[in-house]
Amino acid sequence: MNPDFLKRVQLFEQLSTSELAEILMLGAVKEYKSQEVIFEDGSPGESFFVIYAGAVRISKMFPNMGEEALTVLGAGDFLGEMSFFDNEPRSARAVAHEDVKLLEIGNDDLKAHLERRSEVALKFLWGFSRTLSKRVRETNDKFSSLFAISRVF
């Protein structure tokens, strides 16, 4: 895997080529076939993933209703990052929406690396903050739409 692919990921876009190579060395490439489960809601969150190619569906399973997709993420997106910060179990399910190639990075490995490389940690946290803000805005827009639709009925 080429470090340039991480430049497409907002989380890592401020890192230099050598810093990106360091991050790549922490991870392992994983491949999943369409509809294969990557992780389940409630499972331990020991790593996070960066999508190299393909798509991942993030969803919740509801009794007597089945799966409800929350979002579909594509190349350049990342998932499973919440457990990196809060050490809690997974809050949703991740399924290969189509064949997908991922970079899996262990939380403990990345934390240790960021503790040693404070300049990389700062860039990483800024990238994460920008992505989190974007995702919260998108969620707010979805809720606004749902409330607007519910008022019609």
Q: What is the pLDDT along the chain (153 residues), one digit of tens a residue?
A: 777 888 888 889 899 999 999 999 999 999 999 999 999 999 999 999 999 999 999 999 898 888 889 899 999 999 999 899 899 999 999 999 999 999 999 999 999 999 999 999 999 999 888 888 887 888 888 778 777 777 765
- Note whether 94 and 32 are within 8 A (CB): no
Which CATH number belongs to the domain containing residue 137 in this structure? Answer: 2.60.120.10
Q: Count CB-CB contacts under 10 A for residue 66.
A: 8
**Which helix or strand (DSSP H or E) is residue 146 part of?**
helix 118-152
Per the structure, the complete domain to which residue 90 belongs is given by 3-152
81: which residues sit within 8 A by CB, 6+ positions away?
Answer: 11, 48, 128
On whether the CB atoms of residues 104 and 28 are closer than 8 A, the answer is yes
Q: Which pTM was predicted?
A: 0.85
Q: What six digits make up the tokens of 38?
A: 């990557």
Query: Structural domain tally of the chain?
Result: 1
3-state secondary structure of 72: strand
